[in-house]
Structures are given as C-alpha cells and as structure tokens.
Amino acid sequence: MNVFKHALILTLLLATAYCGPSNPGDGSSDSSSQENNKQLNSFLLGYDGLSDPELQKKADYLAGKKDAYSSSSYADHASAFNRIWKKGEDLRLTKIRTWGHEEFKPLCKETATVFYPFGGADILHSSLFFPCGRNTVMIGLEPPGTIADPTRLSEPARRRYLGAVRQSLFSIIEFSFFRTLAMRDDFANVLDGVAPVLAVFLARLDYELLAFREIRVVSNGKTVTKTAFESMKKEDPSLSAVSGVQIFYRTESGGPVHSVAYFSTDISNQGLKETPYFLPAIKSALNDPTIGYLKAASYLMHRDTFSDIRSFILDESEFLLGDSSGIPIQYMKDGRWDLTYYGRYDQPIKLFSVRHQPDFKADFRNKENDIRPLPIGIGYNYIKGTSHMILGTKKKAATAN
C-alpha cells in the first residue's frame, strides 16, 4: 500500500482533532492515610496491600490468555486476539522491547513517573519504552469505566464484550495510536470506559495485576476512592472531582508495586480553569525524574488554548519523548533541553497539514544535530521509514532551577 493510501486511511480514522463490583480495600481511605504504606506504593490513592484475586482472572480472560469462566465464547476470542497481538509484535512491539529498552536506558537510571496525556488508554507503549516507570499518569476524554464481571454476564453478553475489547484495540496495535472518534464509540456502548483496555494491556505484558480502584481527585486536594467521594459529597455538596481509575500491579513476581492512573478530564486551558485543583494534585504526586511522553497528540498543544498543559509538561519533565504532534519544536529550543532526533520528518499527514513545521524539517537535515535511526513505524506517520520521534533531555542547570 503506498503512502497516499495510508494517508487516506488516517484521514478517515482521525476525523476529529481531540480526542464491576467493589474491590477489597475500596473503602473511605484517602491518600493521606497511605503514608505508612510507602514500601507498597503511595502514589495518588496508594496501594493498601489488599489484592483482588478476581482481577487477574478477568484480565487474562479479556486478554485471551486464560479462561476461568468456562466460556464458550473464549476460544474464538483468544484465537482472534492472538492474531492481532502477533501482528503488533511483528510491527513494532518486539523491536521496542529490544531497541527501545537499550536506547532509552539512560532515562531509566532511577525509578520514574511517566506523564502521558492525550494517549487514551495506551499503557502498552508507555510500559515498553519506560519499564522504569513506577507510576504512570494518563489523561483523556473517554470515561474511566469499570471491568465487567464475566460471571454476571450471559454468554451472548460475554461474546459482545469480548468483541468490543478486540475492536477497541485494533488501531493501537495496527497503527500505534487510538482513533479519537472510534474511542468515543468503543467506550460509550458495550464497554463503559477504558479500564478493560488498561487491564488487557497489563495482562498481555505478563504483569501481575493486584488491585483496581475507581478514584477521584477532589477539589479539596485529596485523592480518594469513588465511594469515599460520594460520602464526602453528601457532607459538602460544593465539592467537585475529576474521575479516574488506578490499577496496581507488579512487573515481576515479588517486585515493587507499580500503578497506572487514568483520568477523564478536559485539559484545555478552559478545562483546567474549571478544575484548578487537578494539575496541582498531580504535580504533588510526581516523583523525580518525571518522563513526559507524547504520541499522536492531535497537535493540540500547537494551539494557544492548550498552552497551560504545554507549559506544565515542559516545566515538570526531566525527559520528554514525543513527536511533531505534541509540543512544537520552538518550545524545546528555549535553552533548557538537549535534543536527540530519531527517524525522518517530512511533513504531517494530510489531516494536519496546516501544522507543518519547516524548522523541524530543517533540524532533521542538519548534520550537526544528534540524529539517530528509528527502526519502527510509530505515530501518525506509522509506516516504518516515515516516522520520527524527538527526545528532550533537560540540562542539569535547568533541572536544578
């Protein structure tokens, strides 16, 4: 398929620019009560050490790894999912595990927090690029949702749910990014949000899932469970909150507890004005170093209406891996960053042609710059050989300030 046809496919995919039951321990504790559990994981809500044995069963079932429910729908699902996953492995996932792990090893000298807005539920690429990410924060507009209990679904309902899971994952595995309009459909019908996708990716990465929590970042500055917020709201109706989910997991048996937190909220300037407590709460939770990650970000931060989140990422990140769809290159030439370029950049896809950056193109042709090969296809220009990334490493003086 030629580049023109690929561009046509992407134009159809990206028709817009913007994109269960309670678990043990899901009580009224807020983040401040978790301080004595730092050896577990005190990030945001904090992990209280109480695991949900059903969570792994659900995730493995949805990921096509193991059927604990004697489901007649499972065999077809597992077969189809394995084909989808193998394609992803062949296209880029295996290469990210090898090349990416080695190339970005300097970023992972310490345990890091990964800040990944505009990426939907793509914990997959974040985890592969940054295995040192002890905690990951993701932000999108899709609802957080829950993970369905297969024991409470009829077999026809199970089949529909499994099919919806596969459908929601097609583009992220095929193209390396979620389709904005498709996500709104995928997560507003059979699936009630992105939570199942997060669980599936973690299961497919062979991680041990420990606990799933529905959380709220509250206007009083606390991070609490959904249940706790509902009680607080009865006492003080003026309270508001940003909704999210947090999954705690281990990447290896007996290893440290990691987490991914996904929040559904508008992070345009206007959206942040309506939730002024949200970014301060996230900032207070970030650990050093913080790795910013941006991929297929719809060029939103090229607009003045997204200047606040752009500044937040630039100020809080010690490392920033992105592409042309994230932060315009001019903002990374303020003297704070050492830049490494990967692959090649010619122009954006047709849908975003007005966002072309001639100076970015010139950077890729300047032999004095640090320009390295990119052995994968990723982002909107997802065909291998047409893709690009850029890594910003904040200079020590800028980090100290």
CA-CA distances (angstroms) from residue 72 to 56, 64, 81?
20, 13, 15
Tokens standing for 64?
A: 């096509």
Residues ≥6 apart with Cβ < 8 Å to 87: 173, 174
3-class state of residue 254 by DSSP: coil
Give the mean model confidence (pLDDT) for residues 186-203: 86
Plot region of 327 (φ>0 → left; ψ -120 to 50 → alpha; else → beta): beta
**pLDDT category of residue 24 using cuts at 50, 70 and 90:** very low
Q: For residue 20, what pLDDT is reported?
A: 34
Question: Which pLDDT value is given to residue 101?
Answer: 87
Q: What is the pLDDT of residue 31?
A: 38
The answer, yes or no, to whether residue 129 has pLDDT greater than 80, is yes
Residue ranges covered by each domain of the chain: 3-400
- List pLDDT tens digits, range 274-283: 999 999 999 9
Chain-centroid distance, C-alpha 267: 15
Cβ distance 364 to 344 under 8 Å? yes
- CA distances (Å), 298 to each of 205, 266, 323, in order? 27, 14, 11
- 207-225 burial by CB neighbour count: b if 16+ within 10 A, else e? bbbbbbbbbbbbbeebbbb
Is the bond preceding residue 289 a cis peptide, omega within 30 degrees?
Answer: yes
209-239: per-residue pLDDT in tens? Answer: 999 999 999 999 999 999 999 999 999 999 9
Cβ atoms of 122 and 174 closer than 8 Å: no
Q: Is the pLDDT of residue 30 over 70?
A: no
User: What is the chain's mean pLDDT, rounded?
Assistant: 87
Tokens of 311: 């500044």
Q: Residue 73: pLDDT above 50? A: yes
Cα separation, 266 vs 9, whole angstroms: 27
For residues 242-269, average pLDDT:
96
Task: Give the pLDDT of residue 381.
Answer: 86
Across the range 327-336, mean pLDDT stands at 96
The pTM assigned to this predicted structure is 0.88
**pLDDT above 90: residue 63:** yes
Distance between CA atoms of residues 139 and 137, nearest Å = 7
Cα–Cα distances (Å) from 335 to 111, 316, 364, 394, 397, in that order, read 26, 15, 19, 9, 10
pLDDT of residue 184: 53
Region 129-139: mean pLDDT is 94
3 state DSSP class of 216: strand
